[in-house]
Amino acid sequence: MAGRDRNILLGFMVLLAGVSPGALGQRVNYPGRVCAVKGSKVTLPCTFSTLKSVQDKDGREVLIEIRRVVWCQDHRICQGSTPSVYDSDSDRKSERNNPRYRYLGDKEGDCSLQISGLQEEDDATLRFRVETNHKSATFIGQLGVKVTVRDGDPMQIKSSSESDGAVSLLCSARCTFHQLEVTWSRDGHALPQSGPALRLSALTAKDSGNYTCALKNDPRTESLPYSLLGEAADGGIPMDPMLVVRLVLFTLHTVLILTVTAILVRRMCVWKKLEDVPEPPADFLEEL
């Protein structure tokens, strides 16, 4: 019973590690789940190992030779007429290989795959199959790697400060967006930088504002504003022109209210005094 429990635990640990085991000595090491933005490029690092030799039914040793490797999409066996995104078989390359899928590996242990220009149809589970000169050494990595394609998710801005006073803003996403251009804006005005990182050296008042970033030609991905406040050239507090205008208008408005209030109070006092003046007696008016 203890041996059985140990085997179950070992199998569970293998699955957590992203390893798809075959027979003893045969396995495919996939990356974890991969998430990437539509239109970007993503690389799936992958390694595999096979048996060096097997024995045939007569007990003779047969050296293993890898004859074909295949990457397929959303299929358990990657065999026969199963649609594939990459097939090393020269007779089937032209009709079965997706031009956006590039095999970076070989037939010796590297099964890395690169996908360019990600589309919605690339959102799938990919599996790798090895075919050899002997059926007992032919296998597929059943676990596979899940590729998730995202479209339109807002970007995020993160900042970091350096010892020389410079500030770097990094435009990031929940998923990989390699090979995609990023646009930057400050207070709604486009900046010339197009990379994911924006470095502001010796931050000054002119750098103050609300920064946003987005993937080029995709306004849906614009980030929330990130506010920066730089120092004035003399080391004092920087003055925002709009803030100055608001303060002036507020001051004038306050002065106007106080002036009108003072006039009204003064008039009320005058009226009150007039009401308090006694009327002259009637005989006084007759004498006049």
Domain residue spans of the chain: 18-150, 156-228
Contact of 88 with 16, CB cutoff 8 Å: no
> Domain 156-228 belongs to what architecture?
Sandwich (2.60)
DSSP class of 281:
P
| Residues 6+ away with beta carbon under 8 Å from 84 | 70, 71, 72, 73, 78, 96, 97
Closest CA to 44 of 108, 103, 124: 103
Query: Is residue 270 very low, low, confident or very high in pLDDT (cuts 50, 70, 90)?
Result: confident
Same fold yes or no, 18-150 and 156-228: yes
Scan for tokens 């097997």, then name that residue.
54
pLDDT of residue 268: 81
User: What's residue 266's pLDDT?
Assistant: 83
Which superfamily does CATH assign the domain made up of 18-150 to? Immunoglobulins (2.60.40.10)
Ramachandran angles phi, psi of 254, nearest 5°: -65, -45
Task: Determine which of 13-17, 172-176, 270-274 has the lowest per-residue pLDDT on average.
Answer: 13-17
State the burial class of residue 212 (Cβ atoms within 10 Å of its Cβ: 0-12, 13-18, 19+): buried
Per-residue pLDDT at 18: 47
pTM listed for this prediction: 0.69
**pLDDT tops 90 at residue 30:** yes
Mean pLDDT along residues 165-183: 92
pLDDT digits (tens, 9 = 90+) for 75-105: 988 887 778 999 998 666 656 789 999 999 9
- Cα distances from 280 to residues 9, 272, 288, in angstroms, run 114, 18, 11
Closest CA to 85 of 75, 95, 73: 73
Rounded to whole angstroms, how far apart are CA atoms 134 and 141?
17
- Using CA atoms, how far apart are residues 141 and 240, in angstroms rounded to an integer? 61
